[in-house]
């Protein structure tokens, strides 16, 4: 799949791809497509790639119908087996061929306009860019019914992020925010080492970037808080802790293997 080789009718060739991993989103996919179509109309140097991760509902068919008349700036890729968010993102980021590559959640908790802030960060010389929900300038849109759960989730998230920064080469304060971006060169360097198929993808991406000495920048964000979420702390929390330990071991082993082998100096033979 190529976006750059198919400029739109005005001659614009996209510079940035927004990858949207999608699973069983039939309840709101029409609304998502309408918003993203508006976004690319207003920003013709962007394109969108939906990656349907083995949906068991009617999402792939509906997406195909909705995008049938669209320009190449809105496309869908689908496969039958559910492999996980990380697999869908690796696939989508590999398929994109633009200079900048981003990903966000299909429910658009982060409006696509927020990705433009990350593009500005990358254009300042950073390799990766992430939104930071706890930045002083960030703003939440919250329903009153979610007040009882949001503070507990906030504390659990802050604790997990604190632990990650001590276990892995990560310095940013919000690892799990669902809007991130990178340059094409950064993804080409990281892609061969990425292994995660599930929700740990974001952590692995940031840790491997940190281990490679890449620069990660942050930006405040306007965020629509949605609860319940597909990521459950109890269900996904413990596996992510084990994944963290496994990744820490892998990065340490990789560091050791990259160090030059010590050569023992041999004494020169005595002259006869």
Q: Could you report the per-residue pLDDT of 228-244, keeping only the tens digit for each?
A: 444 454 455 678 889 99
Same domain, 207 and 146: yes
Same domain, 81 and 98: yes
Q: Quick one: pLDDT at residue 237?
A: 63
d(C-alpha 14, C-alpha 72), whole Å = 10
Residue where the block lists tokens 């940190």: 210
Same domain, 66 and 163: no
Same domain, 232 and 121: yes
pLDDT tens digits, one per residue of 205-219: 999 999 999 999 999
d(C-alpha 246, C-alpha 168), whole Å = 11
Same domain, 132 and 165: yes
Same domain, 115 and 247: yes
The CATH code of the domain that includes 78 is: 3.90.550.10
d(C-alpha 227, C-alpha 109), whole Å = 11
Range of the domain at 98: 1-108
Same domain, 140 and 247: yes
State the DSSP H helix or E strand holding residue 120, giving kind and residue range, or none if neither: helix 113-122
Same domain, 98 and 10: yes
> Among 69, 85, 108, which residue terminates a domain?
108
> Among 108, 142, 173, which residue terminates a domain?
108
| Nearest in space to 204 (alpha carbons), one of 171, 166, 243 | 243
> In sequence order, what E strands does the chain have?
16-22, 46-53, 74-79, 100-103, 128-132, 139-141, 180-183, 216-220, 222-224
Does 115 have pLDDT greater than 80? Answer: yes
Q: 156 in a domain, yes or no? A: yes
Q: Quick one: pLDDT at residue 2?
A: 58
Give pTM, 2 decimals.
0.87
Q: 264 in a domain, yes or no? A: no
Same domain, 132 and 56: no
Same domain, 94 and 204: no
For residues 106-113, average pLDDT: 96
- Tally of domains in the chain: 2
d(C-alpha 44, C-alpha 39), whole Å = 8
Same domain, 114 and 100: no
Same domain, 56 and 78: yes
């Amino acid at each position: 799949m190529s976006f750059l080789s198919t400029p739109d009718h005005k001659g614009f060739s996209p510079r940035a791809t927004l990858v949207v991993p999608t699973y069983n989103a039939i309840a709101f996919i029409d609304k998502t497509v309408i918003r993203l179509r508006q976004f690319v109309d207003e920003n013709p140097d962007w394109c969108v790639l939906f990656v349907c991760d083995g949906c068991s509902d009617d999402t792939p068919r509906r997406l195909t119908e909705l995008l049938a008349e669209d320009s190449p700036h809105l496309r869908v890729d689908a496969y039958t087996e559910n492999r996980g968010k990380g697999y869908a993102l690796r696939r989508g980021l590999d398929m994109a061929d633009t200079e900048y590559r981003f990903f966000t959640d299909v429910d658009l908790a982060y409006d696509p306009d927020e990705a433009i802030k990350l593009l500005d960060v990358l254009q300042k010389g950073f390799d990766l860019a992430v939104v930071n929900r706890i930045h002083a300038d960030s703003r939440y849109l919250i329903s009153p019914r979610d007040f009882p759960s949001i503070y507990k989730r906030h504390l659990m998230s802050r604790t997990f992020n604190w632990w990650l920064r001590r276990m892995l080469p990560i310095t940013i304060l919000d690892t799990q925010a669902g809007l991130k971006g990178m340059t094409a060169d950064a993804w080409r360097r990281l892609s061969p080492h990425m292994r995660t198929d599930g929700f740990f993808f974001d952590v692995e991406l940031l840790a491997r970037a940190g281990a490679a000495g890449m620069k990660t920048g942050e930006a405040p964000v306007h965020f629509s808080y949605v609860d319940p979420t597909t990521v459950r702390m109890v269900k996904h929390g413990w596996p992510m802790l084990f994944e963290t330990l496994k990744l820490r071991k892998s990065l340490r082993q990789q560091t050791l293997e990259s160090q030059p082998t010590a050569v023992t100096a041999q004494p020169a033979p005595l002259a006869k």
